[in-house]
Structure formats: structure tokens, C-alpha cells
Chains A and B, each alone.
Chain A
Amino acid sequence: MAEANGFIVAAYIVTWVGLLGYAWRLHGTSRRARAEYDEASRGTSVPINGGNSGGGARERVE
């Protein structure tokens, strides 16, 4: 019976490792995506030639 308990423990460990592991990976992906977006929008909104933005994102300041 103890052997069976080992499998039960293994099952729950695998589950938690899987879920938390993916949650961690997702956290990284999400952060990178946000950083990429911030970077890209910063690049097109900051005036380069003294007041002209390169074409692209229209900007509305709220």
C-alpha cells in the first residue's frame, strides 16, 4: 500500500510542477510581450526630428 502512496504523491507533484511551471513560463512570456510593446510604441511616439513622429501609431493623450 505504501508503494501505491508513492504513486499518489508522484501524481500530485507532477500536477503542481506542471501547473506552476507553466504559470512561471507564462509570466516570463507575458512580461516580455509587455516590454516589447512598450518598447515598440515608445520608438514610434518619441519625436525624432524635432517634433515629427514617424508614421505609424496615432497617439491620443488622455
Chain B
Amino acid sequence: MSQAVTYVPETSLPAVSTPRRSYEWLGVVALLAVIGAQLLGFLTSPPDRDMGHLQKIMYVHVPSAWNAFMAFFVVAAASLMYLWKGEERHDLLAASAAEVGTLFTALTLALGSIWGRPTWGIWWTWDPRLTSTAVLLMIFVGYLSLRSFVDDHERRAQWSAAVGLLGALNVPIVYMSVKWWRTIHQMQSSPSTVDPEYVVGLRANGIAFLLVLVYFILKRYRAAQLERAAEHLREQAALAPEPRSRGGRHG
């Protein structure tokens, strides 16, 4: 097909046109940013007085955590938009953000464990942030499972939006509960302050990871839109009334 053709499905979906608008440039930029930020982190930060070089794990663990919660925020916002406006694309955005968010949440937990083991000798600690992150992972997984077990599109979108919003409500509540829980049992809190010498590396990695997040979500969202548009087209072809003759297109 040499011409650029715009297919306009008879639905509320926006037209998807070829040649494609590609996000790959963003992917390349994100990749370079991550490499650059990690090099920056390694080269500019001296060993921490307590943790030594283990501090460098913070450069991947903390940005992953930020990404996980940002993705979740997107899920909540998109869910709210869907319940308010009813436009399918918000549902697709929420689902895309959920998938990417699951990745970063799992990554955060794994890196948290890897950092915790040599630092404190334990693979897990019931501190508020790690525990809330674990609950967040469960909520993401539940969200995605619900979507996979529901076939009807409108039902899936409505239900996902409700589940997403309730999940968003729950995460800060869990955080506060666990914080209270630990205070009651007089556990000391994990080191939360980041020394100023590490801020530059942390910010650089934070920005780089954010670019990765945006790239992943946009690309996933685009794929979701294409899948949905394809379904629309198939449905309408299947439900087609008797063929209408068209001028200008004769075999």
C-alpha cells in the first residue's frame, strides 16, 4: 500500500492513521538518559559512611518506586476520567499504566530486598513504604486479573475504573496504618533522608526513569488503541448490513 490512507471507524475512537507516529525516538532518548544517569551516579557519588557502595542501589530502587507510584496515579486519574466522561481511551490508558506500573512495583520490591539484605541482613522488613509497595503490587495484579477475566468491554472498563479508584484510596490508608503499627511496636524507621551529595545522581536517575515510564506507557497505550480499533473493525465487518455500493471503488 503506497498511499497514506486514513481509516475512520464508525465509533468514538479517534482515527488512527498510517504512516505511524512513532514513539521510538523517546525510547532511544530514555535509554541514553538511563545510561547517562547511571554513569553519573557511579562516578560522582562517594561511598556512604554506613552503607558504602551499597548506596548506589538507591539510584535504581528509588526511581523505580517513584515510577510505580506515578503509574498508579495515572491509573487512578484515567479511571476517574473514564467514570466521568465515559470515553474508552481513558480506560485503555489506565490499563496501559497498570501494566507498566506492575513492572516498576515488582522491580522496586526486588531491588528493595537486594538492598536490604547486605545493609541490614534481612530480605524483608515490614516498614511502611515497602509494605505499601507490596500491597500496591497486589492491587495492580488484581486489577489486571479482573481485566483478563471480563470479556465485555464496557463492563470491563467500568469495573476496572471502580477497582482502580478504590485501590488508589487504599494505598495511602495502608501506608498510614503500617506506620502507626510500627510506631506502636517501637520499631525504628528505615533511613529516609538522602545525603545532599547523592541528590544529583538521584535526580538524574529519577528523570531518566521518568522518561522510560512515559515511553512505556505511551507505547503500550498506542498498542491498546490499535487492538481496540482492530476489534471494532472486525465487529462491524461481522455485523455488516447488506453491502452498500460505493462509487469509485470497483473491482
Within 8 A of A (CB), among B1-38: 3-10, 16, 20, 27, 34, 38
Residue B72 is within 8 A (CB to CB) of chain A in the complex: no
Interchain nearest-CB distance for B27 vs A (Å): 7
CA distance A61 to B3 in the complex (A): 7
Residue contact B230 to A39, C-beta cutoff 8 Å = yes
14 more CB-based (< 8 A) A-B contacts, given A57-B7, A59-B7, A60-B5: A3-B118, A12-B38, A14-B107, A14-B110, A18-B107, A32-B223, A33-B222, A33-B224, A37-B229, A39-B230, A49-B243, A53-B249, A55-B244, A60-B6
Other-chain contact of A54, B114, B117, B237 (Cβ < 8 Å): B237
Other-chain contact of B53, A8, A15, A51, A62 (Cβ < 8 Å): A8
Residues of A within 8 A of B240 (CB): 54-56
Other-chain contact of B227, A3, A26, A33, A45 (Cβ < 8 Å): A33
In this complex, the interface size class of chain A, counting residues with CB under 8 Å from chain B, is 35 or more
Residue contact B249 to A51, C-beta cutoff 8 Å = yes
Residues of A within 8 A of B (CB): 1, 3-5, 7-8, 10-12, 14-15, 18-19, 22-23, 26, 29-30, 32-34, 36-37, 39-41, 43-45, 47-62
| Known pairs A7-B54, A33-B223; A51 contacts B250 (CB<8 A) | yes
Residues of B within 8 A of A50 (CB): 250-251
Residue B199 is within 8 A (CB to CB) of chain A in the complex: no
Residues of A within 8 A of B251 (CB): 47, 50-51
- Closest B residue by C-beta to A42: B1
CA distance A37 to B219 in the complex (A): 15
Other-chain contact of B222, A4, A30, A47, A51 (Cβ < 8 Å): A30
Other-chain contact of A29, B9, B111, B223 (Cβ < 8 Å): B223
Other-chain contact of B10, A18, A22, A57 (Cβ < 8 Å): A57
Residue B178 is within 8 A (CB to CB) of chain A in the complex: no
| Known pairs A51-B246, A53-B246; A40 contacts B233 (CB<8 A) | yes
Residue contact A37 to B230, C-beta cutoff 8 Å = yes
Residue B90 is within 8 A (CB to CB) of chain A in the complex: no
| 24 A-B pairs whose Cβ atoms sit less than 8 Å apart in the complex | A1-B52, A7-B114, A11-B60, A12-B60, A14-B111, A18-B107, A40-B231, A43-B237, A49-B243, A50-B250, A50-B251, A51-B245, A51-B251, A53-B243, A53-B246, A53-B249, A55-B240, A55-B244, A56-B9, A58-B8, A60-B5, A61-B5, A62-B4, A62-B5
